[in-house]
Chains A and B, each alone.
Chain A
Amino acid sequence: MVQSKRQRNLFLAFCLVPTFLLFAVFTLYPLFNGLYYSFFKWSGASSLAEFVGFDNYRRLFSDDIIPSTIWHDYFLVITKVFGIMILSTFFAVALTQMKIKEAPFYRIVFFFPNIMSVVVIGILWMFIYNPSLGLVNSGLELIGLESWTRPWLGSEDWALPSLVLPSVWAGIGLFMLMLMGGISNISKSYYEAAEIDGATEWQQFWKVTLPLIWPQIKISILYIIITTLNGSFIIVQVMTKGGPNNSTHVMGSYLYEQAFVKYNFGYGATIGVMILILSLVTVLIMQFLMRREKVEY
Chain B
Amino acid sequence: MLNMWRKTSAWLMMAVLFAFLLLVGCAPGAGTEETDSEGTEEESSSEGSSESGESGEVSGELEIQYFVGGYGDSWWKEVIADFQEEYPDVSITEHAGPNINEEMRSRWVSDDPPDVVYIDGAGSSETQMVEDGQLMNLTEWLSGVELEDGSALGESFIVDPAKYDGEIYSLPLVFDTWGTWYDNAWFEENNWDVPKDFPSFMDTMSQIKEDEGIEPFVTTGQYPYYFLRGMLYPAFGAAGGDELLNDVITGAEGAWTSEPVLNVMKKVEQMQQEGMIDSGFGALNHTQSQMNFLLHDNAFIPVGFWLPNEMANDTPEDFEYGFIPSPMQDEGEPAAIVPDLRPLAIAEKAENPAAAKAFVEFVFTKEYAKSFSEHTGAIMNLQGVDLASSEEVPSFLIDANEMINDPEQVQIYQKPHPMSSELETPISNSLVSLMLGNITAEEFVEEAEQAAAEYRSSLE
Please report A residues at the B interface, Cβ cutoff 8 Å. 5, 8-9, 12-13, 16-17, 20-21, 24, 28-29, 32-33, 36, 43-49, 126, 129-132, 151-156, 159, 239-241, 243-246, 257, 260-264
Contact = CB atoms under 8 A, between A and B. Distances in A.
Which of A12, A20, A154 has the most chain B CB atoms inside 10 A of its CB? A154
B358 interface: no
Contacts, number: 136
B357 to A, nearest CB: 22
A159 B26 contact: no
B12 A261 contact: no
A244 B436 contact: yes
Interface stretch (B91-99, B201-209, B274-282, B333-341): B274-282
B330 interface: no
Nearest to A5: B4
Contacts of A16: 12, 15
A24 B31 contact: no
B450 to A, nearest CB: 9
B109 A153 contact: no
Contact of B132 (A29, A43, A155): A43
B283 interface: yes
B221 A48 contact: no
11 contacts: A45-B129, A46-B109, A46-B129, A129-B283, A155-B282, A239-B283, A241-B222, A243-B221, A244-B221, A245-B429, A261-B421
A50 to B, nearest CB: 11
A244 B227 CA distance: 14
A67 to B, nearest CB: 16
Contacts of A244: 221, 282-283, 429, 432-433, 436
A36 B283 contact: no
B425 A261 contact: yes
Contact of A47 (B22, B111, B283): B111
B28 interface: yes
B128 A151 contact: no
Contacts of A159: 282-283
B123 A154 contact: no
Nearest to A8: B4
Given A43-B128, A131-B280, A132-B297, A154 B436 contact: yes
Nearest to A263: B128
Interface string B327-349: 00000000000000000000000
B15 A153 contact: no
Contact of A132 (B123, B292, B438): B292
A44 B240 CA distance: 36
B407 interface: no
B30 interface: yes
A20 B221 CA distance: 45
Interface residues of B, number: 54
Contacts of B12: 16
Contacts of A262: 421-422, 425
B26 A29 contact: yes
Nearest to B349: A47
Interface in B20-34: 22-23, 26-28, 30-32
A126 B12 CA distance: 49
B319 interface: no
Given A43-B132, A45-B108, A152 B283 contact: yes
B131 interface: yes
B19 interface: yes
B8 interface: yes
A263 B430 CA distance: 20
Interface in B404-421: 421
A22 B133 CA distance: 36
A36 B23 CA distance: 12
Contacts of B223: 241
A154 B279 contact: yes
Contacts of B257: none
Nearest 9 interchain pairs by C-beta: A154-B282, A131-B280, A153-B283, A151-B280, A46-B132, A154-B283, A244-B282, A245-B433, A24-B19
B105 interface: yes
Contacts of A264: 422
Contacts of B285: 241
A47 B31 contact: yes
Given A32-B23, A36-B27, A243 B429 contact: yes
Contacts of B440: none
Given A5-B7, A43-B132, A245-B433, 14 more contacts: A13-B15, A24-B19, A28-B19, A32-B27, A45-B108, A45-B134, A46-B129, A47-B111, A48-B133, A151-B282, A244-B283, A244-B433, A244-B436, A261-B421
A154 B281 contact: yes
Nearest to A35: B27
Contacts of B132: 43, 45-46, 48
Contacts of A49: 31
A17 B11 CA distance: 10
Interface in B32-64: 32, 35
Contacts of B123: 260
